Structure 1
Amino acid sequence: MNTKMKVTASHWVLVAALLFAGYACYLLVEPYINSIVMAFIISLLMFPIHERLEKWLPNAQNTVSLLSCIILTFIIVMPLLLVFSAIVQQGSVFSQNLYSWVTEGGIQTLFAHPLITNGLAFVNDYLPFDAIDPQDIAQKAAQFATSLGSNLVAISAKILGDATNFLINFFLMLFVLFFLLRDHDKLIAAMRHILPLSRSQEDRLLLEIENVSKSAVMGSFLTAIAQGVAGGFGMWLAGFPGLFWGTMMGFASFIPVVGTALIWIPATVYLLISGDTPWAIFLAIWSVAVVGSIDNVLRPLLMQGSAGMNTLMIFFSLLGGIHLFGLMGLIYGPLIFAITMVLFNMYEEEFKDFLDSQDNS
């Protein structure tokens, strides 16, 4: 059967109009694209649970999809609310202690420490920076402590606004997730019908999108959770509020190159200056050996096998993804890399004879 068709001018006009209309639709949903993408990815993660519910209620697709969304809500929202309330409590205590420390002369005591004095002398003598005056820093710290109350109000308002946006985006994601779970088979069939690829190529492309989406979520977010738990435990042993700083380390783990060092290095320096040298050594060793090894071992392990991406490609896909898309780049970056590699493999297979002849010419 001959599947070739003659391409006419009307076909090109139709394709151009379709592209223009598709771009216009993208502009309409662009403010909500992250919620849509997360709904798609979570639908892949939730589908095993959804399938099991479908076996129990085979003729109630709407009810099954609603149950899946309710289960997801309890899995995500309830633990987040408990953790958030504990973080706010520990963060409030930390802010009060910081205010008391600064106003009671702690900053002057800090700059009088020999390590700080010698370090500032070295910086001022050998590095090409403007001279650092401890008195200026102490004065700015005192000003910050004085305005800490108003700053906390502003920060609290921002946190409340972010929490509200999170809830709005979360319920929007649930709305999209409901339809993705309910109409999963129809959506996949429509996608297969539209794509001008063979069935085997469609299978490879869809399977790779599914694998990379799952591995990006598992690799990034599970690694952040594991580093936050391990880092928070180490900080708690060293005398810091464990849940608060563990959460901060979890967020810091998303930052390429620097990562959790943004938290544990200042904490280690603080312990050294305050005279808790054994705990400073412990925290440094724990952070490097345990927390750091989680990022070096767990993340590549969870993200391996996606279109043959090696560790270097995973690193640049995460780095570039965060640069272009923010936090969602942890998913978009690996996904773009993986799809590109699958398309290159398809290209190599389709044009194998031509490429071989080029190599031999």
Structure 2
Amino acid sequence: MTTLNRPRDLPQILLSVLFLSLMIVACLWIVRPFVLGFAWAGTIVIATWPVLIKLQRLLFGRRSLAVLVMTLLLFLLFVIPIALLVNSLVDGSTPLVHAISSGSISPPDLGWLKSIPMVGAKLYTGWHGLLDMGGNAIMAKVRPYIGSTTTWFVGQAAHIGRFMMHCGLMLLFSALLYWQGEKVAYGVRYFATRLAAKRGDAAVVLAGQAIRAVALGVVVTALVQAVLGGIGLAISGVPYATLLTVVMLFSCLVQLGPLVVLVPSIIWLYWTGDTTWGTVLLVWSCVVGTMDNFIRPVLIRMGADLPMVLILTGVIGGLIAFGMIGLFIGPVLLAVSWRLFDAWVHEVPPPSDDPEEVLEELEAQETAPESLHN
């Protein structure tokens, strides 16, 4: 029996692809306002899922009670502190932005340089010599760029309404994911298996490990160091402690550590004559500054080991692309992509350590057809 090959209906294929593309674009356009909140919630739920399971066991196996407790914990320990920090950042930075933009700021006199033994007088003379040679003109040229940069950073935190909307969506999606976490995870794995069989399922598992590594090893460590450092600043009487805590959180997220803020604060306390609280903050800074050496390795082992340059790029790029929420979503996206790329590369055997051996094998393959032909 002869089977005739039916010719492909090219217009039907093109119209089908076009229709599916339009449906996908329309769906993405509809859910676009919820994407960041859902991604944020997914990161938190994946990182804290073991805590939910333990709470459920303690609460007589009731998932509803465990979800309620976890949602309240997220609201008390995550949403409220971040909202307060953002409000403090905006309120505390407004005078600074106004001073820079209006041009009322000028180079400091630095009269305290004279009190430095041996080299103080030379430093003071050199500084004022620089000002006399055009330091004020340099400041006038640099001031617009400083003002624009500062205004941009504050503007990222100034969208409090949108940020709080994402916080509310994060709480809502977190509660839903806590409630139906197993079904959602199974659905994602099923979809990944449909796309790429076992490789797709493994990719989902690797993505979960990367998310947990970032959330626990980077974000949690930064939050702990920033909160403890902020407590030390507030107790020591350093002004603008809340605003400095925000700066410290950002410096910890980009792997610079809390000492970027704590060391100048210690110097300021000693300079103002408050040696007692300066010493207390110095000891407390030693504890907070070295805490990541013990916390981060323990937390990262719960997920996956990731390059620090990946985290740094994700934090800065996420902040520029998505605003304040990008501090958390940016590293997660890069970490997931890195884990999938790394797994794909290691699916083949590694190359030989000796480059000469590789060249010899290549020459042998090239000469083999010639010998067979002869």
Instruction: Measure how far apart 1:282 and its partner are.
Output: 6.2
- In the alignment, structure 1 residue 188 sits paired with structure 2 residue 169: no
Deviations 1:250-309 (A, max 9, x none): 43435636553453344234234323457556645753x333323455345533575553
Within the candidate set 14, 21, 39, 1:37 is matched to 39
Displacement of 1:226 in angstroms is 2.1
Which digits, 9 at most, give the CA deviation of each residue in 1:83-124, with x for residues without a partner?
9789999x999x9xxxxxxxxxxx9x9854345996564344
1:213 matched to 2:215? The reply is no
Alignment of 1:259-298 (within 5 A): 260-276=258-274, 280=278, 283=281, 286-287=284-285, 289-295=286-292, 298=295
Deviation at 1:35, TM superposition (A): 0.8
Note the C-alpha offset of 1:187. Answer: 3.1
- Which one has the largest radius of gyration? 2
Counterpart of 2:233 in structure 1 is 235
Q: Which residue of 2 aligns with 1:25?
A: 27
Please list every run of 5 or more consecutive structure 2 residues that lacks an aligned counterpart in the other structure. Answer: 1-7, 95-105, 141-153, 353-357, 363-374
Q: Assess, with a 3 A threshold, how the Cα gap between structure 1 residues 45 and 252 changes in structure 2: closer, same or farther.
A: closer
Match for 1:122: what amino acid? Answer: G
Question: Corresponding residue for 2:166?
Answer: 169
Identity %: 19
CA contact (8 A) 1:50 1:68 kept: yes
Conserved? CA contact 2:210–2:336, under 8 Å: yes
5+ long unaligned stretches in structure 1: 1-7, 96-106, 138-154
| Post-superposition offset of 1:13 | 6.0
- Structure-2 change in CA distance of 1:47 and 1:272 (3 Å): closer
Does the 8 Å contact 1:307/1:338 carry over to 2? no
The CA distance in 1 between the partners of 2:133 and 2:74, in whole Å, is 47
2:371 aligned residue:
none
Task: Specify the alignment match of 2:176 in structure 1.
Answer: 179
2:126 is equivalent to residue 122 of structure 1: yes
Measured in 1, the distance between the counterparts of 2:341 and 2:216 equals: 24
Structure-2 change in CA distance of 1:36 and 1:83 (3 Å): closer
Which residue is equivalent to 1:197?
196
- CA distance 1:54–1:334, shift in 2 (3 Å): same
**Deviation at 1:82?**
8.1
Alpha carbons 1:205, 1:342 under 8 Å: kept: yes
Give the aligned partner of residue 303 of structure 1. 300
Cα distance between partner residues in 1 of 2:209 and 2:132: 49
Q: Cα RMSD (Å) of the superposition?
A: 5.2
Cα gap change, 1:255 to 1:166, in 2 (>3 Å): same
Aligned residues: 314
Seen in structure 2, the aligned counterparts of structure 1 residues 344 and 215 have a Cα distance that, compared at 3 Å, is closer
Aligned-partner residue type, residue 219 of structure 2:
F
Cα gap change, 1:85/1:331 in structure 2, threshold over 3 Å: closer, same or farther? closer
The alpha carbon displacement at 1:36 in A equals 0.7
- Distance (Å, rounded) in 1 between the aligned partners of 2:322 and 2:219: 16
| Alpha-carbon offset, residue 347 of structure 1 | 5.2
User: How far apart, in 1, do the equivalents of 2:329 and 2:87 lie?
Assistant: 28
Whole-Å separation in 2 of the counterparts to 1:124 and 1:300: 48
- Identify which of structures 1 and 2 has the higher relative contact order when contacts are C-alpha pairs closer than 8 Å and 6+ apart: 2
Q: Which amino acid aligns with 2:299?
A: L
Contact 1:212 1:303 in 2 (8 A): no
Residue in 1 aligned with 2:100?
Answer: none
Q: State the AA in 2 paired with 1:29.
A: V
1:131 aligned residue (135, 154, 160): 135
Once residues 305 and 338 of structure 2 are traced to their aligned partners in structure 1, the CA distance between those partners, rounded to angstroms, is 11
Cα 1:323/1:301, change in 2 over 3 Å: farther
- Of 216-225 and 339-348, more deviation after overlay is shown by 339-348
Q: Which amino acid aligns with 1:202?
A: G
More off after superposition, 337-346 vs 234-243: 234-243
Q: Is the 8 A contact 1:212 1:338 kept in 2?
A: yes
Quick one: structure 1 residues 123 and 286, their matched pair in 2 at CA, closer, same or farther if it must change by over 3 Å? farther
CA distance in 2, matches of 1:111, 1:127: 12
Question: Normalized against structure 2, the TM-score is what?
Answer: 0.60
CA pair 345-114 structure 1, distance change in 2 beyond 3 A = closer
Alpha-carbon distance between aligned partners in 1 of 2:87 and 2:301, rounded to the nearest angstrom: 36
After superposition, the Cα gap between the structure-2 partners of 1:14 and 1:219, relative to the gap in structure 1 and judged at 3 Å, is: farther
8 Å CA contact 1:252–1:262 kept in 2: the answer is no
Contact 1:35 1:169 in 2 (8 A): yes
Does 2:117 correspond to 1:113?
no
